[in-house]
Amino acid sequence: MTKQDAGPRALALRSLAALERDGRYANLEIDARLKHDGADLSPADRGLYTRLVYGVTERRITLDYIIDRCASRPAAEMDAGIRDALRLGLYQLLYMERIPDHAAVSETVDLAKKTGRGGAGMVNAVLRAFLRSGKRVEWPDPAVDPIRALEVRHSIPAALIRVYGTALSASGRTGEGELDALLSALNREPMIGLRVNTLRLTAEEAAEAVGGELSRIAPDIVKISSLTEAARHGIEEGLWFVEDEASRIAAKAVGAEPGETVADTCACPGGKTFSMALDMQNRGEVRAFDLHANKLSLVRKGAERLCLTVVTAEARDARDPDPNLIGKADRVLCDAPCSGFGVIAKKPDLRYKDPSSAERLPGIQREVLRGAAAYVRPGGILVYSTCTLSRAENEDTAEAFLGEHPDFALCEDALLPGGMRAFFPHVDGTDGFFAAKMIRRTE
What's the CA gap between 410 and 104, in Å, rounded?
Answer: 54
What's the CA gap between 255 and 266, in Å, rounded?
Answer: 18
Say if residue 269 is preceded by a cis peptide, omega within 30 of 0: yes
Sign of CA pseudo-dihedral 270, 271, 274, 276: negative
H or E element at residue 290? strand 285-290
Angle in degrees, CA 397, 390, 218, rounded to 5: 90
What's the CA gap between 299 and 277, in Å, rounded?
Answer: 12
Q: Which residues fall within 8 angstroms of residue 199, CB to CB, at 6 or more apart? A: 278, 281, 282, 306, 307
What's the CA gap between 79 and 82, in Å, rounded?
Answer: 5
Q: Are 122 and 82 in contact (CB under 8 A)?
A: yes
Active site residue 387: yes
Angle between helices 101-114 and 120-132 (to 10 degrees): 160
DSSP 3-state of 23? coil
What's the CA gap between 337 and 397, in Å, rounded?
Answer: 12
Q: Residue 214, Cβ neighbours under 10 Å: how many?
A: 15
How far lies 290's CA from each of 108, 272, 320, 321, in Å? 45, 13, 11, 11
For the chain, the maximum distance between any two Cα atoms, rounded to a whole number of angstroms, is: 77
Which residue is catalytic, options 268, 334, 387, 411?
387
Determine how β-strand 261-264 pairs with β-strand 285-290.
parallel
Q: What is the 3-state secondary structure (H, E, C) of 215-229?
A: CCCCCCEEEECCCCH
Q: Which residues fall within 8 angstroms of residue 247, CB to CB, at 6 or more apart? A: 193, 271, 272, 275, 387, 431, 433
H or E element at residue 287? strand 285-290
DSSP 3-state of 391? coil
Catalytic residues: 387
